[in-house]
Structure 1
Amino acid sequence: MKGCGNNLKNKRLAISGAILVIVVIIAVIVFTVLAKNNGSAEKKVVNNFTEALQKQKYDAIAPLVVSDKANDEKNSEDIVKRYKNVFDSLEVTETKITNVDVKKDEEDKKYHFSYTAKYKTFLGWTEEFKYKGSFVDDNDEVKIAWQPSLIIPFMSPGDKIAVDNTSAKRGEIVDVNGEKLAFNKQQKQAGLYPDQLKLGKGQKENLKSIAALFDVDEKILTAQLKQEWVQGDSFVPIKIVPLSFKVPDAINGVTMKEVRARYYPYSEAASHLIGYVGEVSAEDIKKEPTFKPGDLIGKSGLEYTFNKRLKGENGGSITVVNDVTDKADNVQMKKAVNGENIHLTINADIQAKAYEELKDTVGSYTAMDPKTGGLTALVSVPAYDPNKMTAGITDKDYAKYESDKNLPFLARYTARYAPGSTFKTITAGIGLDAKKIDPLKKRAITGLKWQKDKSWGDYFVTRVSDVPQVDMTDALVYSDNIYFAQEALSMGQDTMENGLKKLPFGTDFKLPLDMADAQLSNKGINSDILLADTSYGQGELLITPIQQLAMYSTFARDGKLIYPHLEVTKNAPKETEIFTKETAEKVKNALYETVNRPEGTAHGLQTAGKHIAAKTGTAEIKEKQDTKGDENSFVLAMDTTDASYISITMVEKSNVNLKGKKIVDVTKPILGFYYDNLK
């Protein structure tokens, strides 16, 4: 019996152990089931899904989704392709997803998810869209039950995304009278049609013929065809051509479309000022991601400087189109904002006339209305054809421009030069205001060269006319360097420098032009020789023609310097008093004599019945004393009756580039144009 008791006890222990094991197993199963259904798997899937969307890594979506049979997208690869197609067409560059949430529905006892998203498309940021979705069990894996509504919330199976682009019209650049200097004109855009290149003689021969027809390097055409975005039916731009242009029937692979392309009616006459537009480069796109291939932007001149104002903002719409009703629901819409028109103070007629007179030289013509400070002409020669640049200049033509030793891309009205004898007007003004120059006092000067004393070594100040007795007016009429050198040394360095410091040396005029500040000297006027040289416009002076105009405007405006501007404005001009009215009048009267006395260096500008004041100047650039160097010539001119204009004509290496003429000879017809047409 004792043995039976032990057996019974053992059996009870075995049964208890078995029950315990069963309980543990059941607990594990229950725990596993509960763990599987606490939403952790769903949360992980949704987080991975939204992270892939936000990073635009659409391939990462494939293992996370299962498509419903009712969708056009039958598998995950189709879904990935759909995302790529849609978001590429919308040019989505950024996605922001917030408020990601996974919750169990109390009614169906299943987990559902939601999140909010917005996209930066070619139209900017969309509004926030609220997304909802559910899960499916795919071979014991939790996946998202994908629907088109996960692209756009109100999309249904079969719906399509429609994209419409509306380009902003680029603003015009017009002159003071509303004359167009840059505008959009109906023209033809020639382009390659890749699929058709294979017809006829074949792609190789067609490209060869096309390159010859449009004077474009064949290698460039080939490179354009290899761009990533090019498809068989793409339009690959070549160049802008006239509306009358026709492609021979024997050439395949070229198509035309009418476009409104940028046009510059004054061509070379205003090329440096206005500039030109061109297609964005890879470098442009890198700097500004909103640019895309084919976009036109300003490449130089005011087209470049004012590009943001001129180009406006493109618009368009993104809609979801129902495949049954054709009803379109807006995803995003933006109205195009046309570019701003830029109104310049430039007078196109003066600009064209000045270019015509100067085009065979190397130099510039700069003019201003001294009453307002508005720049009325900014001409530089030689120039380039901006219409060629915009249409698609050939390598040959561009190489010709680049190799030209006269630098046709240089805007000479913003380049710095020693101003030469035109600057004597400033020295005279400083001396008169400081009571250091007596305008009636005659200086006795002998010969054509002079030096202060033997300490100057072999350095001499020279002059052109051997006039024994010279007062201030005579010195301006004859352009006597020795007179002004002696007056500068007599008034002293301090007086001269204090007067010069009133002028805008080192001042930025805030013009929309690339221009360095005017320079008085490298390290101050630290020697008598430099003081003498500065007095007649050489030494270390470096001043652009625009800056010269501002400085010399004091004599046209009763001693007040006016700051130049280029855009039409209703604001009062900025001015500052430099000289007294009496001083300005005395200098201006002397410049009138320089034109009207037969011995005056500007006598060639004399015109019957016209009241012209002027001063010529020559800055000689040479290696050493007593040698002949290249000469840059200037002529300052202004009207003495109503201050209707003040101008600077400049010719580089005038001893060569004027071809035997004098600088007054090319200036006189321009001034005549003022009196005949504008006064």
Structure 2
Amino acid sequence: MKKLIGVLLIVFVTMLTGCNKEPAPQDRFAAYIKLWNEQKFDQMYDYLSSSAKKSISKKEFTSRYEKIYQDLQITGLKVNFKKPKKDKKADGGKTSYSFNAKMNSVAGPISFSYKANLKEEEKDNKKNWYIDWNTGFIFPKMEKGDKIGLSTISPERGEIVDRNGNGLAVNGDVLEVGVVPGKMGDKKAQVVGQLAKLLDIPTKQIEQELGASWVKPGLFVPLRKIPLDDRKLVNQLMSIQSVTTKDVPARIYPYKEAAAQLVGYVGSITADDLKKLESKGYTAQDLVGKRGLEQVFDEQLKGQTGVKITIKKKDGSEDVLAEKPVENGKTVKLTIDAELQASLYDEMKGDAGSSAAMNPMTGETLALVSSPSFDPNQASLGFSASEWKALQDNKKMPLTTRFKQTYAPGSVMKPITASIALENKAITPGQSIAINGLKWQKSKSWGGYYVTRVHEASPVNLEKAFIYSDNIYFAQAALKIGRTTFIDGLKKFGFEKEWDYAFPLEKPTIGSLGSEISLADSGYGQGQIQMNIVNLMAAYTPLVNSGNMIKPILLASDKKSQVLQEKVMTPDAAATIGPMLRKVVTDPGGTARAANIPGYPLAGKTGTAEIKQKQGELGTQNGWFIAYNPQKPNLMIAMMVENVEKSGGSKVPVEKVTKVFKMWK
């Protein structure tokens, strides 16, 4: 029994001794490091020595770390302390340990080594080890009274240029218009009224700007930015007492409305933009692409902001902590010919529609036009409320990018149908079929629905069907092909696929083709068939490339003459259809006879797509025309003009496209 009691006593004393064992300094410092890595700054403060706490309060300690880490965008913090295997407590209750810190910042990586001094102190009748903290723990060269400096250098935005180096989006200057309040004298109301009218700004807004807390009589108060070339407005403004202007940097769009939908414009970053882009280095001061290629290639054009983090010393000197050099944005060079782009836009004369040009041998997009349009210079500087309302209320929808949208192609679809039919032997070129009258239906099961045509002819072969654009012939061809084979053939042309193209396009679609009527209508480009103008041009490239469809490209750096789909037409089909499209232009009865240019042989196809809810009612019509020179196939032009039902149908785009060919042949 005595022996058992002795053993228990030894165990109890051992446990008591263990409970009273003083904390090891290395364990205390390791715990502090752990909290630091977790950025639990308020808990870190509890580890500070009494003398350290006298130099900084808990609130100041916590907020200082939090602000510095937030402002410098500190991530990936990793503080390392290698604990010694044995405690080597220094005499006099003092010891020290070295540690390493690494982190990423907005200006790049920061790393340092530092020595921490610990001292043993008694608090609440208990001894423990505490860190003798100082500002060197934040950054070693930082001393009491020093401040952290964060400076940025904005990159120069990359320009967007055409194939010849002509600027489509460039860096330049605009005029910032404002007033010096002290120079208005007793004519303030008169000046404000004149400025409100000329700058299209509400009077109340100008008064608010003039009433801002920072405004002083001799200071320039900016009101609006205007283009340098608006000389009439500049002269009117400069005649007003107290008005002054100054040149400020801005994005300039030399081709204005002609390329607005393609190039887009830049504007101030919004709070929503910043949420999405902050992780990519964007700041509240940045401009961002708002639409078009300015938006698509924004990160490439923007470049990288230069950032420098410094410790600002009390004597005015600086120590650099981290620095990321500025990287200017990269130039984006397009395959576009800006002058051809302008010619096509001008020829559309404000009609609603789209136009495009391509080199069908290389796939280079030479023009992408949407009409009507808007001035991207004014968009970038900021539309006034009345200017924005006028754009929104315009029935022709100038803010719509039509060349990216899909539409029913009408009869420009017929060469696609013909190639599928020829490949699957649903038709033969020389075979004539009897078609009587201007309307036709397969059977009485179609009820009151008929396929109609404009020109009466019988019998009709493939060549005549192209010349007269015979809907009935191609409707019958689609039915002979059959739904499944027709869909498979269309998919070879890129239908129902997302296209790898620098400007995001709506994909061409087929629709359900759930009935004989929808299949027949799709054969001549109605039904639910939808294409955009880039798809259409690509679909015609096999005619000059032995049946291979060439990939359309927009960037000058893209490889030229890429085959998007081999033998999308058989070589025989391409060789058959091409000369027939030439006849569409040369034959006296051809629907594109107005495009016959002496000495410059064009081949092409017209189309009129009807937009209506049901047969028998009057709807709107979109007129199409696509043409190229088969002897020198380096330029293909396509155009779609909306609402041509009262102005000549497809004759409208035929005449416009022909004028452009005459200028560029």
What TM-score bracket applies, with the shorter chain setting the length? 0.7 to 0.9
Which residue number in structure 1 is paired with residue 580 of structure 2? 590
Pairs within 5 Å for 1:608-647:
608-647=598-637
Please tell me whether residue 264 in structure 1 is matched to residue 250 in structure 2.
Answer: no
Which residue number in structure 2 is paired with residue 98 of structure 1? 79
Of the three residues 153, 160, 170, the one matched with 2:157 is 170
Contact 1:448/1:465 (CA < 8 Å) preserved in 2?
A: yes
Which residue number in structure 1 is paired with residue 550 of structure 2? 562
The CA deviation at 1:139 is 9.8
Moved more, 141-150 or 554-563: 141-150
Please state whether the residue corresponding to 2:278 is helix, strand or coil. Answer: coil
Using the alignment, how far apart are the partners of 2:41 and 2:255 within structure 1? Answer: 48
Pairs within 5 Å for 1:173-184:
173-184=160-171
Contact 1:363/1:652 (CA < 8 Å) preserved in 2?
A: yes
Using the alignment, how far apart are the partners of 1:167 and 1:613 within structure 2? Answer: 51
Contact 1:209/1:251 (CA < 8 Å) preserved in 2?
A: no
The letter of the residue matching 2:263 is I
Of the three residues 426, 450, 456, the one matched with 2:416 is 426
- Per-residue CA deviation, residues 60-85 of structure 1 (Å, 9 max, x unaligned), is 9699687889x9x8877777786677
Which residue number in structure 1 is paired with residue 107 of structure 2? 123
Residue 493 and residue 207 in structure 1: after superposition, are their counterparts in 2 closer, same or farther (change >3 A)?
A: same
Contact 1:240/1:261 (CA < 8 Å) preserved in 2?
A: no
Count of residues in correspondence between the two structures = 631
- Per-residue CA deviation, residues 166-187 of structure 1 (Å, 9 max, x unaligned), is 2122111111122111121133
Using the alignment, how far apart are the partners of 1:48 and 1:500 within structure 2? Answer: 63
Contact 1:373/1:565 (CA < 8 Å) preserved in 2?
A: yes
Please tell me whether residue 295 in structure 1 is matched to residue 282 in structure 2.
Answer: no
- Per-residue CA deviation, residues 307-344 of structure 1 (Å, 9 max, x unaligned), is 111111111322334444x5543200111112121111
Please tell me whether residue 356 in structure 1 is matched to residue 346 in structure 2.
Answer: yes
Residue 496 and residue 272 in structure 1: after superposition, are their counterparts in 2 closer, same or farther (change >3 A)?
A: same
Pairs within 5 Å for 1:10-89:
39=25, 46=32, 50=36, 54=39
Using the alignment, how far apart are the partners of 1:131 and 1:256 within structure 2? Answer: 57
Using the alignment, how far apart are the partners of 2:224 and 2:451 within structure 1? Answer: 57
Which residue number in structure 2 is paired with residue 154 of structure 1? 141
Which residue number in structure 2 is paired with residue 540 of structure 1? 528
Contact 2:592/2:651 (CA < 8 Å) preserved in 1?
A: no
Please tell me whether residue 663 in structure 1 is matched to residue 653 in structure 2.
Answer: yes
Using the alignment, how far apart are the partners of 1:389 and 1:620 within structure 2? Answer: 34
The letter of the residue matching 2:633 is A
The CA deviation at 1:47 is 6.3
Please state whether the residue corresponding to 2:645 is helix, strand or coil. Answer: helix
Contact 2:433/2:460 (CA < 8 Å) preserved in 1?
A: yes
The CA deviation at 1:445 is 2.7
The CA deviation at 1:617 is 0.5
The CA deviation at 1:347 is 1.2
Residue 342 and residue 236 in structure 1: after superposition, are their counterparts in 2 closer, same or farther (change >3 A)?
A: farther
The letter of the residue matching 2:570 is T
Please state whether the residue corresponding to 2:421 is helix, strand or coil. Answer: helix
Which residue number in structure 2 is paired with residue 508 of structure 1? 498
- Per-residue CA deviation, residues 641-679 of structure 1 (Å, 9 max, x unaligned), is 12112222001122257799722122212222321xxxx
Contact 1:556/1:638 (CA < 8 Å) preserved in 2?
A: no
- Per-residue CA deviation, residues 549-594 of structure 1 (Å, 9 max, x unaligned), is 1112221322111121211224651332122223212211111111
Residue 508 and residue 153 in structure 1: after superposition, are their counterparts in 2 closer, same or farther (change >3 A)?
A: same
Contact 2:100/2:114 (CA < 8 Å) preserved in 1?
A: yes
- Aligned CA RMSD, in angstroms, stands at 4.5
Moved more, 594-603 or 121-130: 121-130
Using the alignment, how far apart are the partners of 1:207 and 1:97 within structure 2? Answer: 58
Please state whether the residue corresponding to 1:484 is helix, strand or coil. Answer: helix
TM-score by length of 2: 0.81
- Per-residue CA deviation, residues 527-558 of structure 1 (Å, 9 max, x unaligned), is 33223212211112111111111112221322
Residue 44 and residue 177 in structure 1: after superposition, are their counterparts in 2 closer, same or farther (change >3 A)?
A: closer
Pairs within 5 Å for 1:416-455:
416-455=406-445
The CA deviation at 1:153 is 0.5
Please state whether the residue corresponding to 1:299 is helix, strand or coil. Answer: strand
Contact 1:451/1:460 (CA < 8 Å) preserved in 2?
A: yes
- Per-residue CA deviation, residues 273-326 of structure 1 (Å, 9 max, x unaligned), is 1111111111112223343222111111111111111111111322334444x5
Contact 1:66/1:144 (CA < 8 Å) preserved in 2?
A: no
Residue 593 and residue 660 in structure 1: after superposition, are their counterparts in 2 closer, same or farther (change >3 A)?
A: closer
Residue 389 and residue 498 in structure 1: after superposition, are their counterparts in 2 closer, same or farther (change >3 A)?
A: closer
The unaligned stretches of length 5 or more in structure 1 are: 1-26
Using the alignment, how far apart are the partners of 1:317 and 1:650 within structure 2? Answer: 53
The CA deviation at 1:164 is 3.1
Which residue number in structure 2 is paired with residue 331 of structure 1? 321
Residue 390 and residue 462 in structure 1: after superposition, are their counterparts in 2 closer, same or farther (change >3 A)?
A: same
The letter of the residue matching 1:264 is Y
The CA deviation at 1:135 is 6.1
Which residue number in structure 2 is paired with residue 12 of structure 1? none
Using the alignment, how far apart are the partners of 1:466 and 1:644 within structure 2? Answer: 35
Using the alignment, how far apart are the partners of 1:486 and 1:439 within structure 2? Answer: 14
The letter of the residue matching 2:90 is E
The letter of the residue matching 1:583 is A
Using the alignment, how far apart are the partners of 2:382 and 2:287 within structure 1? Answer: 12
Please tell me whether residue 578 in structure 1 is matched to residue 578 in structure 2.
Answer: no
Of the three residues 521, 528, 531, the one matched with 2:516 is 528
Which residue number in structure 2 is paired with residue 318 of structure 1? 309
Of the three residues 326, 335, 349, the one matched with 1:345 is 335
Q: Percent identity?
A: 33
The letter of the residue matching 1:539 is G
Pairs within 5 Å for 1:344-493:
344-493=334-483
Moved more, 303-312 or 283-292: 283-292
The CA deviation at 1:96 is 2.1
Contact 1:42/1:111 (CA < 8 Å) preserved in 2?
A: no
Moved more, 467-476 or 333-342: 467-476
Residue 465 and residue 661 in structure 1: after superposition, are their counterparts in 2 closer, same or farther (change >3 A)?
A: closer
The unaligned stretches of length 5 or more in structure 2 are: 1-12
Contact 1:365/1:647 (CA < 8 Å) preserved in 2?
A: yes
Using the alignment, how far apart are the partners of 2:115 and 2:188 within structure 1? Answer: 50
The CA deviation at 1:504 is 1.3
Moved more, 573-582 or 149-158: 149-158
Contact 2:23/2:129 (CA < 8 Å) preserved in 1?
A: no
Please state whether the residue corresponding to 1:371 is helix, strand or coil. Answer: coil
Which residue number in structure 1 is paired with residue 8 of structure 2? none
Residue 184 and residue 67 in structure 1: after superposition, are their counterparts in 2 closer, same or farther (change >3 A)?
A: farther
Pairs within 5 Å for 1:304-315:
304-315=295-306
Using the alignment, how far apart are the partners of 1:488 and 1:551 within structure 2? Answer: 18
The CA deviation at 1:130 is 3.6
Contact 1:210/1:251 (CA < 8 Å) preserved in 2?
A: no
Which residue number in structure 2 is paired with residue 185 of structure 1? 172
Residue 135 and residue 300 in structure 1: after superposition, are their counterparts in 2 closer, same or farther (change >3 A)?
A: farther
Using the alignment, how far apart are the partners of 1:179 and 1:262 within structure 2? Answer: 15
The letter of the residue matching 2:152 is N
- Per-residue CA deviation, residues 193-235 of structure 1 (Å, 9 max, x unaligned), is 9xx99x98999999999776754457878999999xx989999
Residue 81 and residue 427 in structure 1: after superposition, are their counterparts in 2 closer, same or farther (change >3 A)?
A: closer
Contact 2:160/2:333 (CA < 8 Å) preserved in 1?
A: yes
Please state whether the residue corresponding to 1:667 is helix, strand or coil. Answer: helix
